[in-house]
Amino acid sequence: MADARNYTSSRTGMKRRLRIWFLLVASFMGWAVYTSFQQLESRAETMRALDSLREKVAAAEQRQAELEFEIERLSDPEYIKELARKNGLAMPGEQPIQVTESGD
């Protein structure tokens, strides 16, 4: 009879330890899942910021290429003459002609 009581008390203790162990494992797994979702959200936000910065870099590179092309064109004397004529300037000895629209 003493052995039967000992067996049931050890079995009760074993059940209690298993419940505590399950509670600890479940708590850890809950924390792990929560942390994973937080990291996924943080990663998504970081990726959005990265995409935004990449777009800004692409726009800046395009603007830089346009400005470099303009610099090359400004070193060409023919282009400078064309710009001067568009602004109403003329070479020495030339007569500028201005065309006006008639109001028919």
Locate the domains of the chain by residue range. Answer: 2-86
Structure confidence at residue 4 (pLDDT): 53
Q: Is the pTM of this model over 0.75?
A: no
Average pLDDT over residues 38-59: 97
Taking residue 79's Cβ as centre, other Cβ atoms within 10 Å add up to 13
Region of residue 56 (phi > 0: left; psi between -120 and 50: alpha; otherwise: beta): alpha
CA pair distance 78, 91, nearest whole angstrom: 12
- The gap between the terminal CA atoms of the chain, to the nearest Å, is 125
Residues of the chain with pLDDT > 90, as a percent, come to: 56
Question: Given a cut of 60, is residue 102 above it in pLDDT?
Answer: yes
